[in-house]
Amino acid sequence: MVNMQGFGPGPSLAPQHMALIPPEKLVEIEQQYAKELSALWANPTGTPITDRRFRADAWQNPWNQATVNFYLLNSRHLLNLADAVEAEAKVRQRIRFSIEQMIDAMSPSNFLATNPEAQQRLIETKGESLRTGILNALQDLGKGKVSQTDESAFEVGKNVATSEGAVVYQTKLFQIIQYKPLTAKVYERPYLMIPPCINKYYILDLQPESSVVRYLVEQGHTVYLVSWKNPDPSMADTTWDDYIGDGAIHAIETVQDISGQKQINILGFCVGGTITTTALAVMAARNQHPAASLTLLTTLLDFSDTGILDVFVDEALVSLRENSIGGKNGGKCGMLRGVELANTFSFLRPNDLVWNYVVDNYLKGNSPPPFDLLYWNGDSTNLPGAMYSWYLRHLYLQNELKVPGKLTICGEKVDLGKIKCPVYLYASREDHIVPWWSAYESVKLLKGAKVHFVLGASGHIAGVINPPAKKKRNYWANSKLPTTADAWFDGAKEIPGSWWPDWAKWLVPHSGKQKLAPKSYGNTKYKVIEKAPGSYVKEKAID
């Protein structure tokens, strides 16, 4: 294969993959490449380049434009070859993912020798940018990740996660935070939020103007929230059953006890939604139905199509995890390091979350600016090896949660169809972690529930964190629930703005009567332990 800036014969895949392309298709692709290459040799500057990596003025001279055009041509050629491979879907997906990673890594913008912006910066600073860039790179090598923001600009509880409240209960696995009311009256049924355990909870309370927690409190709900402990090596053998029974179920029962309410409203976000729904199914098997309503945000229950994440999960990888950190075959349980998980997610969007910062921080010697969302993104959490390995095998690999009675969790056969409460099911249209059509499959699994499905614009996080005051984006709604996601979308109405008001309106009939807001946290049995945001969320991932 030639250099991706590419002068010479066309680049190709690995020989074993080339052999999987039908000969007639390969000839067609090579002929097309030769035709485009010939046209580019005749006019190296080609047509105007729209790729945002190459928009700056420094790229707009004939030599740099030619370099970019040859790179783009070879990139298209490689992708055409990848798409022509005849193999099972997972193999083709992996080939394309690998090629895309290589293409993005080999961009002319990523190298000092072929990045005119970085060269210009080097001259202007008399070499200082290169010195600073090297120092930035060395510092990141120590961290094990590419810096995306100025982490010194933020402090949990000071300028992120600032909603007023108190920790009223804690175990070795989680803390429960109760938030201070902002209305004179509140609904009698409290609202429990269960975030993912693979991230810190404060994505739901990042800034006051974009806080889901604060929005709910302003609507008159008494909000409780689970803050998961950042696992250390002593928790390596904590299981999925522990997160369900000692985690979600225990939290639900505790909020019932604090509030004196038989039923409460519950929210689960991402993996937190999978945990919450599983917990409610376990309780349903015991003929317990604690949820007056359930809200699921970007949650997978059917793992048939996990999008780009599917390229990472197969029998070999799961077995490796089970044997290395999962305690299989008498081995010792270990931990999945938070930085490893964070880096995996970053490489799902490498140009935005990796190479952009390599160029700016290392080649140009700049320091990343403060950005609260990226600070949260980098504030990683570890995962217990036993829990993570079980999750990979039984959900991602074997997709057993969708099958009634297939899994036994906390001693009960799990059947999601036994959950009876109304469900507000939200998905994001551009979500690369939980594809929206996969989230829609939950409609079929929650057979005992009345489901209200809503599709928001944007991605996994930006779609969820969309406060009404910003008047951004849009969402789609359709009261009918046809068999397929595409059929649902075809009949859906596009509505401008945030989906939050629709959600708030949906919650009202499930929230009970209104009463005077409590003047203190907890009760005589559940006393204040510490102020929000609590100590668990401040714990850093341990390598």
**Among all residues, which ones are annotated catalytic?**
270
Helix (H) or strand (E) holding 79: helix 62-84
Which residue, chain included where needed, has tokens 């002319």?
A: 108
Q: How far apart are CA 372 and CA 356, in angstroms?
A: 18
Buried-state track 134-145, b at ≥16 Cβ within 10 A, e below 16: eebbeebeeeeb
Task: Write the DSSP symbol of residue 11.
Answer: P
Coil, strand, or helix at residue 38? helix
For residue 500 the two structure tokens come to 């939050």
Coil, strand, or helix at residue 167? strand
Task: Write the DSSP symbol of residue 453.
Answer: E
Give me the phi and psi of 112, to 5 degrees please.
-60, -40
CA 42 from centre of chain: 45
For the chain, the first-to-last Cα distance in angstroms comes to 38
Which residue, chain included where needed, has tokens 């302003």?
A: 218
Which residue, chain included where needed, has tokens 């022509």?
A: 84
Listed in sequence order, the residues at least 6 apart from 447 whose beta carbon sits closer than 8 Å to its beta carbon are 416, 417
Coil, strand, or helix at residue 281? helix
Listed in sequence order, the residues at least 6 apart from 437 whose beta carbon sits closer than 8 Å to its beta carbon are 305, 485, 486
* 11-18, Cβ contacts within 8 angstroms, sequence gap of 24 or more: 11/74, 11/77, 11/78, 12/78, 12/81, 13/78, 13/81, 13/82, 13/85, 13/95, 13/99, 17/81, 17/82, 17/85, 17/95, 18/81
Burial class (CB in 10 A: 0-12, 13-18, 19+), 224: buried
Helix (H) or strand (E) holding 168: strand 165-170
Task: Write the DSSP symbol of residue 358.
Answer: I
Q: How far apart are CA 259 and CA 282, in angstroms?
A: 22
What beta strand segments (E) does 414-531 contain? Answer: 423-428, 451-456, 474-477, 493-496, 514-516, 530-531
